[in-house]
Amino acid sequence: MSRKGALLRGAAALAAAGALIGLMASPAAAKPHKPHHHDSDPIVIAHRGASGYLPEHTLEAYALAVELGADVIEPDLVLTKDGELLARHEPVLDETTDIAQHPEFADRKTTKLIDGAPVTGFFADDFTLAELKTLRAEERLPSVRPQSAAHDGEFELVTYDEVLDFVDDLDRKVVTYPEMKHPSYYEDKGMSIEEELADLLDERRLDRKRSPVWIQSFEYQSLLNIAELVDNRIGLNIDGQGEISDAELDEYADTLDTVSLNKNRIVPRDANGYLMEPTDVVERAHDRGLDVHVWTFRNENQFLPADFREGSGGAAWGDFESEYDLFYSLDVDAVFSDYPDKAIAARDC
């Protein structure tokens, strides 16, 4: 049996064993796992829109993701100087906009602390929304995705309010899954991204448990804070590699709906990038009633496990279908993908 086949066979066996163990010895206080999707298929989340094809966090990237069949679109949110929720991956604008081509803003370049580390650049919170609307989006990985970079300068920056307007006009239900970026950074500046988001959701009557809006963050306290303001489904993003303890999962089950995990938390990689044995974190989370979302799926070799790389060069596409097969076999509830059409094709084949 090939290494790839062994990985998939082992994952399937682990999933089956985990389900049996969950039935026999689930924690006394655990909620039964009830996926919130309308059927048992994993949900496909368009990571920053169809960001493998078009510059991320643009209305055009979100629209393409919907056209390709994504169940959910994911806007990262940062704050502007005047308190608007802007769809950008980071407060810093340098890598994803044409800010460097605007000499009228040259004096805004500065250094600030984000998560305790100094970062130099142009920060969205130093600009009003009107000023930001004069910028245009650019591809973050131009050498990897030249087809997307070909659209540099075409698309304007958009607010979450505009994204919600777009979703309202669709002829099918599409969930938005906003991520509050660096809440503590804004707290240190006397701003609250939680309150701005909660106010917008309240204004649009989207602050309810069954609303097509889920909320995420890497900062657990931020999620606890916004949970006091809205009733939406809430999930914690957990990066890195290593075990998540039962005690941690117990706490998350008491306060959250979802854990959203780096792929390495589910199937670790060794020092050479090869996949190791899957962990049992999905089963243990399900035993406690938590959904498990996984990020991020990308087609290019440089992002794939060494097991699935093909051809030469990091930008070449590898055997991404096998990576989807592996994680789908582990019963995850949702995947974040830069190429939502490929995630759907692997799911539905």
**pLDDT in tens for each of the 349 residues of the chain?**
345 455 555 554 554 444 443 433 333 344 454 544 434 799 999 999 999 999 999 999 999 999 999 999 999 999 999 999 999 999 999 999 999 999 999 999 999 999 999 999 999 999 999 999 999 999 999 999 999 999 999 999 999 999 999 999 999 999 999 999 999 999 999 999 999 999 999 999 999 999 999 999 999 999 999 999 999 999 999 999 999 999 999 999 999 999 999 999 999 999 999 999 999 999 999 999 999 999 999 999 999 999 999 998 999 999 999 999 999 999 999 999 999 999 999 999 8
Cα–Cα distance measured from residue 349 to residue 334, given in angstroms and rounded to the nearest whole number: 16
In a 10 Å sphere around its CB, with 0-12 CB exposed, 13-18 middle and 19+ buried, how is residue 104 labelled?
A: exposed
- Give me the pLDDT at residue 15, please: 46
The tokens for 162 are 């505009």
CB 126 within 8 A of CB 81: yes
Q: Tokens 């050479």 label which residue? A: 272
- Whose tokens are 């990262």? That residue is 76
Name the H helices within the chain. 3-25, 59-67, 129-132, 146-149, 160-168, 183-188, 193-203, 220-227, 246-255, 263-266, 281-287, 320-329, 340-348
Q: Are 94 and 121 in contact (CB under 8 A)?
A: yes
Q: How is the chain split into domains, by residue range?
A: 3-91+157-348
The three-class DSSP label of residue 34 is: coil
- The residues annotated as belonging to the active site are 47, 89
pLDDT value at position 40? Answer: 75
What's the CATH class of domain 3-91+157-348? alpha beta
Please give the Cα distance from 86 to 191 (Å, whole number): 14
Q: Tell me the whole-structure pTM to 2 decimals.
A: 0.90
Distance CA 265, CA 243 (A): 7
Q: What is the pLDDT of residue 83?
A: 97
The pLDDT tens digits for 330-339 are: 999 999 999 9
* C-beta separation of 120 from 111 below 8 A: yes
